[in-house]
Amino acid sequence: MFVEVSDVRKSYGQGGSFVQVLNGVSTRIGRGRICVILGPSGSGKSTLLHALGGLDTVDSGRICIDGKEITRLNPEELADYRRDTLGFVFQFYNLIPDLTTEENIQVCSYLSQSPLAMQELLDTLGLTEHRNKFPSQLSGGQQQRCAIARALIKNPGLLLCDEPTGALDTKTAKEILILLEKINQRYGTTMLLVTHNDALRGMADKVIQIKDGQIFKEYDNEVRMPASSLTW
């Protein structure tokens, strides 16, 4: 298994402000699979994603990515893990305003010893004609494409997406999901998509539903629905 999570627990605060955010989460995800993590706000799904990304520590339990137990890594080793293995797509893009589309992507290419070809990525994500534009000159969907390209240029084994369509209209959201599906098929990238949008479950190989910090249901789709056929 590419991703293995074993009895992970995470809490915040103490006394009257104590909150158990993750309460014994365990799951496994195969290499090259698309996994959709569903749950309402406050269910713990983003906290789980941040733990998988080495952005947040856990109180107990184990997380292994491609055979490496990241819950045992020190800060320097975690930084290496994020650089070498991980791509992260946030809901609100986080592009550098004074850099062009191509320059925003190029920043992350320097972190990899085997980056993807820039032109291929621009073509795949439909950004070639926008390569010299600044973020303020791009639509929301184009900015999200740029953010995805920036995460992918490193050629990561694992792509984590936190509400990748949350700030987009339905048409643009579907275009982004079609692109993610295309990237998964072309590069074999393992993808975890956190969302509150129930419609995304159809495009996943595996669906995980979280409520109150626990997985209450998970299953594999026997047939994955094309992202182009999703409706919501």
What pLDDT, in 10s, does the model give residues 34-59?
Answer: 999 999 988 999 999 999 999 999 99
pTM recorded for the entire structure: 0.91
**CA–CA gap between residue 190 and residue 9 (Å, rounded):** 23
pLDDT over 90 (residue 232): no
**Mean pLDDT estimate for the chain:** 92
Listed residue (10, 149, 152) closest to 85, CA to CA? 152
Cα angle 71-75-80, degrees, rounded to a multiple of 5? 90
Other Cβ atoms closer than 10 A to 165: 24
pLDDT over 80 (residue 70): yes
Residues near 8 by Cβ (< 8 Å), separated by ≥ 6? 22, 24, 25, 26, 48, 51, 58, 60, 61, 62, 63, 71
pLDDT over 80 (residue 167): no
**CA–CA gap between residue 76 and residue 39 (Å, rounded):** 32
pLDDT over 90 (residue 230): no
**CA–CA gap between residue 167 and residue 190 (Å, rounded):** 23
What confidence score (pLDDT) does residue 33 get?
Answer: 97
**Helices 101-109 and 140-152, packing angle to 10 deg:** 20
Listed residue (150, 144, 154, 148) closest to 81, CA to CA? 154
pLDDT per residue as tens digits for the range 99-142: 999 999 999 888 878 888 999 899 988 999 999 999 999 998 89
For residue 146 the two structure tokens come to: 């740029």
**CA–CA gap between residue 4 and residue 28 (Å, rounded):** 5
